[in-house]
Each structure stands twice: as structure tokens, then as C-alpha cells.
Amino acid sequence: MAKTETSSWDTESGLLDDYDFVVEEAWFGEDEESENNDGKVYLFLRGEATEEDGTEHEEHRERYSTGKNWEAVDDGESVENAAGKTRFNQNAGLGKLINALVALGDDEAAFLQKRGQAFDAATFNKLKMHMKSQEASRWTDTDTGEEIVWMLNLPTSLTLPKAKGGKGKAARSGTKKPAKKSTKAPSKASGLRAEIATFAAQFDENEHDEFVDQILDSDIFANADKIVDDDELHADVLDPDSSLWADAH
């Protein structure tokens, strides 16, 4: 019997494997909903998934293992490695996700670098990706001899912010030249101020307006909301004569 596209003799996995995904929440933690909770820490992404036929899933969730020795901190906002490592293993689920995102292109990689660190969950929040099920790895079970294939939903494209009025957010089409790298050392301030100083150092001294446009955009700078919530810090960001901007240049 020949199969057709609508044949009832076709089957499916029941899992999403080709869809648009808008991340609405990201966090690190153990999979408490799993019956086989083994204490591993994962990056969880929750949001709306839309299949090619328009079917929407408002509460879709993906998870990516962080690998050995990673522990969730700050109520799941970040992870730290007990062995002091600052990079994820490329064979872990999160390593596969990171490599898939970076491999999308230079623009995508630069966009992600500006958003923040891979060990901060906020960096992945609000990402808009097209996801497809891909082979992550395969191996042979030493007991049964069975070949096992690990399939993982990974991004095949990432939506980048569009430029506003010829300046501001860098878009794929390129209406603004990339900010020049500063050769000056970032501020010695710690925490959020250090992140802001590092971000500011990517702009020329006369590009303060563009710096403000981008750092207050949560699609570009993951902690933009924290800046707005801090009146003193917000004022320093807006002031081109502040020490925060001056130290970066």
C-alpha cells in the first residue's frame, strides 16, 4: 500500500520537531516533573511554539542538560561550576544548543554576546528561533549492541532585532556598522555596572545615543529591566558625562 501525505498509515512521534519558538521564560534547575529526576541541572526554556500548519502550543518547554558539576544559583537565574569551569561541555545538551546558535552566523553570534553570558538564564529569554529535531549524537549500547540515536530540538535560525531609523539595533540587513571594539580596559566595577561598562566599551565615544538605545532594549541587553528599575543606575546610563560612560572611553 502506497502512503500518501494524509495516509492514516503514517505515524508521528507526538513531539514537536519543526516549529517557531518564542522563549517567554528561561531558568536553570532540576527536572522536578520527571519521574527519573537524577539531580542533573538543566536549562529550561518555556514559551509559545507554532508549527508550520499554524498549530500553536502556548506552554511548550525544552530542556538542555548543563553537564557535570554545574549547580543552579540565585533561584535558577544562573549556574556555577563546582570545579571552576566557565564553559559548558560541547557534548552536553546546553553545549549543543550554544554551538547551534553560534553556528548560525557572525551576526547571530555577536547578538548573543551582547545579550550576556551563556550561564545566565536571562540571556536566552525572549529569543525567537526556528527549531528542528536534529541528531545530537549516536552510540552503540555495549550490553545489547543496539544503536542509539539522541535527537535534540536545536535552532536553525534566530530572529535578530531590526534597526530603528537607520541606527540603534544591528539587523541582519546591516543598516548600522558594528560597534568598534574598544582597546581600553572595562571598568573595575562589579556586577551589573561591570556588564554595562563592558557593553559600553563596544561603542565609540560619540555613539552614546546608540549605546542607550541598545542597552535599554531587553532584546539586546538581557538586564535592561534591572537598569530601568534602579533610578541612580538608569540616570548614569542616560548621562553621557557620567563616570560610567567616561570610564569605558
Instruction: Give the mean model confidence (pLDDT) for residues 229-236.
Output: 86
% pLDDT > 90, the chain: 37
Quick one: average pLDDT of 50-69?
91
Q: Return all residues near 114 (Cβ < 8 A) that are at least 6 apart.
A: 199, 202, 214, 220, 221
Mean pLDDT score, 223-246: 86
Say which range, 27-31, 87-91, 132-136, 221-225, has the weakest mean pLDDT. 221-225
Could you tell me if 29 and 44 are in contact, meaning their C-beta atoms sit under 8 angstroms apart?
yes
d(CA 23, CA 236) in angstroms, rounded, equals 30
d(CA 66, CA 90): 10
d(CA 164, CA 161): 9
Residue 11 pLDDT > 60: no
Give the model's confidence band at 75: pLDDT under 50 very low, under 70 low, under 90 confident, else very high. very high
Which set of grid coordinates corresponds to residue 70?
Answer: 554545574
* pTM for the structure as a whole: 0.61
Kindly state the average pLDDT of the residues 126-134.
Answer: 94
CA angle 126, 127, 132 (to 5 degrees): 135
pLDDT of residue 37: 63
DSSP letter at 2 equals -
Judge contact between 42 and 31, C-beta under 8 A. yes
**Would you state the pLDDT for residue 1?**
45
The arithmetic mean of pLDDT across residues 65-72, rounded, is 92
Judged against a pLDDT cut of 60, whether residue 182 lies above it is answered with no
Q: Which residues contact 231 (CB under 8 A, 6 or more apart)?
A: none
The predicted structure's pLDDT at residue 136: 84
User: Which range has the worst mean pLDDT, 64-68, 167-171, 238-242?
Assistant: 167-171
Q: Exposed, middle or buried, 170 (CB in 10 Å: 0-12/13-18/19+)?
A: buried
pLDDT at 86: 86
- Confidence tier at 133 by pLDDT (50, 70, 90): very high
How much is the pLDDT for 177?
38
Neighbouring-strand partners of residue 119: none
Task: Please count the other Cβ atoms lying within 10 Å of the Cβ belonging to residue 62.
Answer: 22
The closest of 189, 188, 160 to 175, measured between CA atoms, is: 160
Q: Where are the domains of the chain?
A: 18-158, 161-249
pLDDT bucket at 173, cuts 50 / 70 / 90: very low
H or E segment and range at residue 115: helix 106-115
